[in-house]
Amino acid sequence: MINKIYKRIHNKYSTLFKFLFFLRYLFGIFFISVVLFLSIPHLFDYKKKDEIIKNHLLQSYGLTINKYENIQYNSLPIPNLEIQNVDVSIKTDLIRMKVVSLNIYPQILNIYNYKDFKTNKIILNKNKISLSDSDLKILINYIYNLKKRLTFKNLDLNINRNSSPLINLKKINFSNYGYNKNIIKGKLFNKKFKITISDNYRKLNFKLLKTGIYADINFNKIKKDSVITGVFKSKLLNSNLKFDFNYDGKKLKIYNSYFRNKNLSFNNESKIIFKPFFSLNSIINVENINIKIFKDININKILTLKDLIKKINTKNEINFKSKRFSKNLIDDLNLNINLAYGRIVYLKKISISENIFRCQGDADIIEEYPILYFDCLIISKDKKKLLKKFSIKYNNKNELFKLNASGNINILNNKVNFKKITVNEEYVASKEDLNYFKKAFETILLDNDLSGIFNFKKIKEFILEIY
C-alpha cells in the first residue's frame, strides 16, 4: 500500500522535483558569477583611473583632490572605491580637508566601465576641517547647493577667528539624503548635540543632549542683499531667551529681545560688529532682578580670562525702573559700562526715594592685581527719608545730606583705600577717620568678595557702624 502511494506521488510530481533540482545549479552558477563580478575588480590598478575619478568628484561634488596615498576597491558591504589619506579642497583652496578615507559608491556597471563614470553617493570618513568664521558661510552654501548624495562621518570642525580658536565641534555625522537627512550629530564641549534642519533650510533646531539646553532658529527669506533675518528662541536650563536678528556678514543686530528666569528678566537691543574689528553695543532694560545672583558671580575666575578680555570691545547701557508698589530698594538705575583692550570705564546713577547716588571710575582688569578706582557722590534732600530706606531711625526732617567719597578697591585682595571723604562740604575726613572707614568697609562689605556691596543687610550694618 505504501509503495503504491509513493509511486503515485513520484509519478505526479517528478517533473516539479527535477525542476527544483535543476534550479540549484542555476543558483550556484548565479552565486559564482556574482562573486566573480564583485571580486575581479580587486585585481585592477585604480591609480591609472585617478584622473577620471578626480574629474568626476570635481564636476559632480565640487571637490578637488590635491593629493592622496592610495585607491583601493572594497566589494563589501556595497562595492566602493576607497581613497585613503586624502587632501581635499572644497571649490576653492579656502576650505581644505584632511580625510582618512573617501568612499565612492559607483553605479554597479561603472565597476568595469569608466567611460561614463557615475556615482550614487560618497562618504567622507574621519575628516578634519579648520577654517575662519568668515569662511563658514562657504561651507554652508556648498552643502546647501549640493544635489549629489554626500555623507560626513566623524568630522572634526575647528572654527577660528583671527587665527585664534573660536569653537571646536567633534565627531560630526551628517548626511544630505535618506532617513537622517539634514540631521547633524556630534560633540560640543564634550557633550553630545543634535541639530535638525528643515528641508527648505528655514528652520533649525539645536539640542545639547542631557543638559536641558536647546534652541530654535526660524529664518526668513534671504533678501537680495544677502541679509539674513529671523527669530531665535532658546532655553538654557531654567532660562528663556527670544529675539529677532538681522545679519549681513559684517554685523549682527538683535532686537525685540527678551530674557527671563526666576531671578532676572530684561529686554535689550544689541549690535555686534565682526568686521573690521569685533565690538558690541547694547541697551539693556531690566524688568526684574534678584540681587542674590551677584553671590554666584566668581570675579576671580572671570579675571583669569585675560586673553579673552583683551579682545572684547563693548559699550553697554543698563537701565532699571522699579515697578510701582514694589519693595525694591532702588527706584531707578542707569549704568554705562565701556570695555576696550581690558580697560573698563563706568558711570552709575541710582535713585532711591528721590535720593541720588552717582559713581564713576575705571579699572585695568587685565593687570595682575586689578585696581578699581571710584568717585562717588550721594545727594539727599531729606536725610531721614534716606535712612528710613535702610530701616534706620533719624529724627530731623528735611536735612540736607551730601557725601562725596573717592578711592580705589583692590579687586582680588578685597582691600579698599579712601582718598577723600567729605560730608556737606563741612566735614573732611582725617587720615585717622579714613583708616577707620577703611577697616569697617573691609570687615563688613568686603569680608568675602565684592558681592558684599550688593547685600542690603551688610550695607545697613556698615551705615550703623559709621553712623
Q: Is 70 exceeded by the pLDDT of residue 25? A: no
Cell of 167: 569653537
Dump pLDDT digits (tens) for 71-101: 888 877 888 888 899 999 886 677 888 999 9
Number of neighbours of residue 432 by Cβ within 10 angstroms? 8
Peptide bond before residue 79 is cis, with ω within 30 degrees of 0: no
Q: Model pTM greater than 0.85?
A: no
For 221-279, how does the pLDDT look when each residue is reduced to its tens digit (9 = 90+)? 766 566 788 999 998 878 899 999 988 878 889 999 999 988 889 999 999 887 777 78
Cis peptide before 106 (omega within 30 of 0): no
| Confidence (pLDDT) at 40 | 63
Please compute the mean of the pLDDT values over residues 414-423 and round it to a whole number: 90
Q: How confident is the model at residue 331 (pLDDT cuts 50, 70, 90)?
A: confident
Across 97-111, 142-156, 384-398, the highest mean pLDDT is recorded for 142-156
Residue 140 or 18, more confident: 140
Strand partners, 97: 88, 129
| Mean pLDDT on 139-159 | 88
Q: State what percent of residues in the chain have pLDDT above 90.
A: 23
DSSP string, 305-344: -HHHHHH-EEEEEEEEEPPTT---S-SEEEEEEEEETTEE
316: pLDDT confidence band, cut at 50, 70 and 90? very high
From the list 86, 161, 151, the residue with the least C-alpha distance to 124 is 151
Quick check: 360 pLDDT over 90? yes
Task: Report the SS3 class of residue 383.
Answer: helix
| pLDDT band with cut points at 50, 70 and 90 for residue 173 | very high
Torsion region of 249: left, alpha or beta (phi above 0 gives left; psi -120 to 50 gives alpha): left
Confirm if 408 and 449 have CB atoms less than 8 A apart: no
- The answer to whether the CB of 206 falls within 8 A of the CB of 169 is no
The pLDDT value recorded for residue 242 is 93
Pairing of strands 427-428, 332-340: unpaired
Q: How confident is the model at residue 15, as a pLDDT?
A: 60
Which residue did the predictor score with more confidence, 299 or 428? 428
Q: Place 30 in a pLDDT band, splitting at 50, 70 and 90.
A: low
Residue 14, pLDDT score: 58
Q: Nearest-CA neighbor of 280 among 259, 251, 304?
A: 251
Residue-level pLDDT at 448:
74
- Confidence check: pLDDT of 297 > 80: no
Q: What is the pLDDT of residue 346?
A: 92
Give 131's strand partners.
159
The domain locations on the chain are 41-130+148-156
Distance of alpha carbon 307 from alpha carbon 459, whole angstroms: 35
State the pLDDT at residue 38: 58
Residue 201, pLDDT > 80, answer no
Q: Read off the pLDDT of residues 34-57 as tens digits, 9 standing for 90 and up.
A: 555 556 666 567 778 888 888 888
Question: What distance separates the 2 farthest-apart alpha carbons in the chain?
Answer: 137
Specify the pLDDT at position 29. 62
Residue 309, pLDDT above cutoff 90: no
Amino acid 255: pLDDT: 92
- Residues 166-184 have a mean pLDDT of 88
Predicted confidence (pLDDT) at residue 3 exceeds the cutoff of 80: no
DSSP line for 272-317: EE-SSS-EEEEEEEEEEE-GGGGGG--HHHHTT-HHHHHH-EEEEE
Is it the case that residue 445 has pLDDT exceeding 60?
yes
Pairing of strands 251-260, 371-380: unpaired
HSE-CB of 202 using CA atoms within 13 angstroms:
4
